[in-house]
Amino acid sequence: MRFFLTLLLAAGMWLSANAQKDATYWNKMADGMSQALIDKFWGANFEGYADRYYFNYGSNLSNMTTNHYWPQAHAMDVLVDAYMRTGEKRYKELFPLWWNGAPRYNFAGKMNPKDAWWNVFVDDMEWIVLAQIRMWESTGNKMYINKARQMYDDWIWPTWGPENEFPWYGGITWKTDVEKSKNACSNGPAALIAARLYRFFDQAKFKGGKAKEAYLNEAIKIYTWEKNFLFDRKTGAVYDNINRKGEIQKNWIFTYNIGTFLGAAHELFLITGDKQYLDDAVLAASYVTDHMTQNGVLPDAPSGDGGLFHGIFFRYFVKLINEEALDTTIRKKFHDYLTSLATIMAEQGVNHNTMLYAGRWRNAPADDEPVGLTPHLTGCMLMEAMCVLKPLNK
């Protein structure tokens, strides 16, 4: 009898613990982590830095370098997530401040006197443009999407090609001064941008410039190039780049490249209805779940650029999971996978006193431990993903 009572008690505790992981739980986690992003990283929060409208690279002034431009876009993406989820003006109020600060602290902006937003890294500009589009989506302020369109038209699309140049035959350049390096990190986001400019063309009421169809044509062209050169059609892997020597770097396979590839595929599926795009997205996502996961989690990523990689994957992965056209079995597999990762992070990786995540799935940072911006953003993005993840029965 005691044995059965123990079992019942254990079952009750399990149900109680898991019952807490509902929408309220995930919203509370997301609220806490987005607030920690503002409290611990937003430069203007600290005494003596009243006009530092920029996200510091380390928590609590531990790293204030401005040599990293691209994380700014993802920090703004998280604020957009929080604003769209809650409608709270305190998030929206930071948008125009960051709009002032991001170009001012852009380390490469002075290299191009025509545009303070310009950067020598094409992918850095692409992340910024994607964030600008979402700022418009959440506020309706056309200033944001007009700037996004201008940057894409002036600085991103012109790095395409030449299409007749062996062995690259096109592709968006990774870095403006290394024009023969064609990377997944510059092509996946570019395809996403072009597809979104097409999709939002009428709503944004664009005037002048390229015709609407040009953006769809460019999105398909960029996506097709990446699929042909950097996508393994058997395994779903997305290789990092084809370099200046024309060699494909197959040893570097990163979650963020898979995320933007599947994100672009999903966008094109929504626009065209062509199921091949959806199949590509599923195959790419399956590479992460089946080949990049060990002991139930992805590799720890506690610092540097790599700290952001998983978060970018989660941003586009959750959109795929919510796709109603997805096969039911596949959707459940992906749904369970994301939920399991989020639960491990929330229970073991996040410090619930500071609400900071340091990029270690099962080892939360100490109360006084400096945390990098990039891993914390990944934590924020996973918690926000759980807030928009649709139940399996809907």
Number of domains in the chain: 1
Is pLDDT above 80 for 163? yes
What's the CATH code of the domain at 228? 1.50.10.20
pLDDT of residue 306: 98
**Which residue's structure tokens are 């990049």?**
292
pLDDT of residue 381: 99
Quote the percentage of the chain above a pLDDT of 90: 93
Query: How far, in Å, are 22, 113, 262, 318, 331 from residue 391 at the CA level?
Result: 10, 49, 21, 12, 10
Report the C-alpha gap between 123 and 96 in whole angstroms.
23
pLDDT digits (tens, 9 = 90+) for 20-46: 489 999 999 999 999 999 999 999 999
Instruction: Annotate 102-121 with b (16+ C-beta within 10 A) or e (fewer).
Output: bbebbebbeeeeebebbbbb
Q: What is the pLDDT of residues 122-161, one digit of tens each?
A: 999 999 999 999 999 999 999 999 999 999 999 999 999 9
Say if 22 falls within a structural domain. no
Rounded to whole angstroms, the Cα distance separating 241 from 178 reads: 12
393 within some domain? no
Host domain of residue 117: 28-388
Instruction: Find the largest Cα–Cα distance for the chain.
Output: 80
Work out the average pLDDT over 380-394: 94
- Amino acid 13: pLDDT: 33
Strands (E), 177-335: 178-183, 239-242, 248-253
Q: In 3D, which of 32, 151, 77 has the Cα closest to residue 143?
A: 151
Mean pLDDT of the chain: 94
Percent of the chain beyond pLDDT 70? Answer: 95
Whether residue 23 lies inside any domain: the answer is: no
Residue 81: pLDDT above 90? yes
pLDDT at 394 (0 to 100):
55
Name every residue whose Cβ is closer than 8 Å to that of residue 39 and which is 6 or more positions away in sequence: 45
Asked if residue 5 belongs to a domain, the reply is: no
Question: What mean pLDDT comes out for the span 342-358?
Answer: 98
* Cβ neighbours of residue 25 closer than 8 Å, sequence gap 6 or more: 346
- Comparing CA positions, the residue from 314, 285, 297 lying closest to residue 349 is 297
Q: Is residue 358 part of a domain?
A: yes
What is the token pair recorded at 107? 């380390």
Task: Tell me whether residue 32 is exposed, middle or buried, using C-beta atoms within 10 angstroms of its C-beta: 0 to 12, 13 to 18, 19 or more.
Answer: middle
Q: Is residue 318 part of a domain?
A: yes
